[in-house]
Structure 1
Amino acid sequence: MVARYVVSPHGGRRAHRDISSALHAAAQRGRPALVEIAPGRYEETLVVRGEVRLVAAEGPGTVVVGRHRGAALEAAGRVRVHGLTLVGRDADAVACPTGSLTLEHTEIRATGGVALHAGPHASVTLRDSVVAHGRTLFSGAAGLVERCRFTDAADNAIAVVAGARVRVGDSRIEGSRIHGLRVSDAQAEVVGCELTGTGRAALMADTGAHLTVADCVITAVHAEGVMFIEQSRGSVDRTRVTDARHGIAAASGADPVVHGCVLADCRDTGINVQTDARGRFEDCEVLDSGNVAVFATDGGAPEVRGCRVARGNVGIAVTGGARGRFAHSTVEDLTGSALRVWDGSRGVFEHLRVERCPTGLDTRGDGGTTADLADTTFRDFRLPAVTAAGQSRVTLRRVTAERGTVGFGVAEDAQLFVYDCEVRAVTGGGVGGIGNGRLLARNLTVTGSEGVGISAKDSAYLDVEGGDFTDCAVAGAVFDEESSGRLAECSVSGERGAAVVHNGRVDLVALRSGLRVVHRAAPPAAPAPTIVNRFLGPVIHGDVHDAQFAWDNDHVSQHLRTEGDDSPR
Structure 2
Amino acid sequence: MESKIMMKYFLAFVLCFAGLCQLENFTLAQEMETSWPNGGLTLQEAYAQTAEGGTLTIKPGTHEVPETLVVRKNIKIVGESANREETILKGGKENVLCIASGSAEIKNLTFRNTGEKADPKYSAVWVQSRTCVFENCLFTSEVGNGFSVNQKDADPTLTRCTVKDCGDAGFWLTYGAKGKFIECEIKGNKAVGIRVRDRGTAPIVEKCRFTNGKHCGVHLDLGAGGTFTECEFIGNEQSGMFVTGNGTNPTVEKCRFTDGKGDGITINCGADGTFTECEFIGNQWSQITLRGIGTEPTVHKCRICDGKASGILVCGGAGGTFTDCEVYGNSGVGILVKDMKTNPTVEGNKVQKNRQGGIHISEYADGTFRNNTLTANYEEHWSISRDSSPVRENNISDGASETSWPNGGLTLQEAYAQTAEGGTLTIKPGTHEVPETLV
TM class by shorter-chain length? 0.7 to 0.9
Q: TM-score with structure 1 length normalisation?
A: 0.61
Partner residue, 2:55: 53
Q: Deviations over 1:453-472 (max 9, x none)?
A: xxxxxxxxxx9975xxxxxx
Q: Is the 8 A contact 1:104 1:126 kept in 2?
A: yes
Q: Against the structure 1 CA distance between its residues 79 and 64, is the aligned structure 2 distance closer, same or farther, given a 3 Å change threshold?
A: farther
- 2:341 aligned with 1:309: no
Pick aligned residue for 1:116 from 94, 111, 125: 125
Partner residue, 2:88: 85
Matching residue's letter, 1:126: F
Matching residue's letter, 1:146: T
Q: Deviations over 1:353-380 (max 9, x none)?
A: 00011112222264xx321111111129
Partner residue, 2:358: 338
Pick aligned residue for 2:251 from 226, 235, 241: 235
Post-superposition shift, 1:387? 12
Q: Is the 8 A contact 2:402 2:426 kept in 1?
A: no
SS at match of 1:156: coil
Q: Deviations over 1:326-374 (max 9, x none)?
A: 11110000111311222232211111100011112222264xx321111
Partner residue, 1:328: 348
SS at match of 1:165: coil
Q: Is the 8 A contact 1:325 1:347 kept in 2?
A: yes
SS at match of 1:346: coil
Question: Which residues in structure 2 correspond to 1:202-241 (within 5 Å)?
Answer: 202-230=217-245, 231-241=247-257
Partner residue, 1:419: 416
Partner residue, 2:64: 66
CA distance in 1, matches of 2:328, 2:42: 58
Q: Deviations over 1:146-170 (max 9, x none)?
A: 0111111111100111111101001
Pick aligned residue for 1:379 from 398, 401, 404: 398
Q: Against the structure 1 CA distance between its residues 380 and 359, is the aligned structure 2 distance closer, same or farther, given a 3 Å change threshold?
A: farther
Partner residue, 1:280: 298
Q: Is the 8 A contact 1:73 1:86 kept in 2?
A: no
Matching residue's letter, 1:305: T
- 2:383 aligned with 1:362: yes
Higher Rg? 1
Q: Is the 8 A contact 1:396 1:418 kept in 2?
A: no
Matching residue's letter, 1:118: V
Partner residue, 2:156: 143
SS at match of 1:269: coil
Post-superposition shift, 1:32? 5.5
Q: Against the structure 1 CA distance between its residues 330 and 394, is the aligned structure 2 distance closer, same or farther, given a 3 Å change threshold?
A: farther
Q: Is the 8 A contact 1:180 1:203 kept in 2?
A: yes
Q: Is the 8 A contact 1:375 1:397 kept in 2?
A: no
Post-superposition shift, 1:54? 1.3
Q: Against the structure 1 CA distance between its residues 146 and 97, is the aligned structure 2 distance closer, same or farther, given a 3 Å change threshold?
A: same
Q: Deviations over 1:465-514 (max 9, x none)?
A: 75xxxxxxxxxxxxxxxxxxxxxx6xxxxxxxxxxxxxxxxxxxxxxxxx
CA distance in 1, matches of 2:62, 2:91: 11
SS at match of 2:240: strand
SS at match of 2:203: strand
CA distance in 1, matches of 2:170, 2:41: 26
Partner residue, 1:504: none
* Coordinate RMSD, CA, aligned: 3.5
Partner residue, 2:134: 126
CA distance in 2, matches of 1:77, 1:364: 66
Partner residue, 2:171: 158
Partner residue, 2:282: 265
Q: Is the 8 A contact 2:205 2:229 kept in 1?
A: yes
Matching residue's letter, 1:364: S
CA distance in 2, matches of 1:432, 1:137: 57
Matching residue's letter, 1:158: F
SS at match of 1:176: coil
CA distance in 1, matches of 2:233, 2:114: 26
Instruction: Number of aligned residue pairs: give it.
Output: 382
Q: Against the structure 1 CA distance between its residues 86 and 370, is the aligned structure 2 distance closer, same or farther, given a 3 Å change threshold?
A: same
- 2:35 aligned with 1:36: yes
SS at match of 2:156: strand
Q: Which has the higher strand share?
A: 1
SS at match of 1:268: coil
SS at match of 2:269: coil
Q: Deviations over 1:86-124 (max 9, x none)?
A: 1112111211122222211111112224110012x4433
- Between the two structures, name the one with larger relative contact order (CA 8 Å, sep ≥ 6): 2
Q: Is the 8 A contact 1:224 1:246 kept in 2?
A: yes
CA distance in 2, matches of 1:71, 1:340: 60
CA distance in 1, matches of 2:380, 2:271: 32
Unaligned runs of 5+ in 1: 1-24, 399-416, 443-462, 467-488, 490-569
Pick aligned residue for 2:181 from 165, 168, 185: 168
Q: Deviations over 1:420-455 (max 9, x none)?
A: 446969xxxx7899xx9448799xxxxxxxxxxxxx
Partner residue, 1:353: 373
- 2:316 aligned with 1:298: yes
Q: Is the 8 A contact 1:440 1:464 kept in 2?
A: no
Q: Against the structure 1 CA distance between its residues 387 and 339, is the aligned structure 2 distance closer, same or farther, given a 3 Å change threshold?
A: farther
Q: Which has the higher helix share?
A: 2
CA distance in 2, matches of 1:163, 1:322: 32
SS at match of 1:55: strand
SS at match of 1:82: strand
Matching residue's letter, 1:55: T
Q: Is the 8 A contact 1:124 1:142 kept in 2?
A: yes
Q: Against the structure 1 CA distance between its residues 207 and 465, is the aligned structure 2 distance closer, same or farther, given a 3 Å change threshold?
A: same
Between the two proteins, what is the percent identity of the paired residues? 16
Q: Is the 8 A contact 1:45 1:65 kept in 2?
A: no
Post-superposition shift, 1:226? 1.6
CA distance in 2, matches of 1:64, 1:95: 19
SS at match of 1:362: strand
Q: Deviations over 1:125-175 (max 9, x none)?
A: 111111223520011122111011111111110011111110100111100
CA distance in 1, matches of 2:433, 2:150: 62
Post-superposition shift, 1:243? 1.4
Q: Is the 8 A contact 2:64 2:91 kept in 1?
A: yes
CA distance in 1, matches of 2:274, 2:225: 11
CA distance in 2, matches of 1:331, 1:396: 23
Q: Is the 8 A contact 1:72 1:87 kept in 2?
A: no
Q: Is the 8 A contact 1:371 1:394 kept in 2?
A: no
- 2:201 aligned with 1:201: no
Q: Against the structure 1 CA distance between its residues 263 and 202, is the aligned structure 2 distance closer, same or farther, given a 3 Å change threshold?
A: same
Matching residue's letter, 1:419: Y
Partner residue, 1:106: 109
Matching residue's letter, 1:316: I
Q: Against the structure 1 CA distance between its residues 36 and 332, is the aligned structure 2 distance closer, same or farther, given a 3 Å change threshold?
A: same
CA distance in 2, matches of 1:252, 1:43: 53
Matching residue's letter, 1:322: T
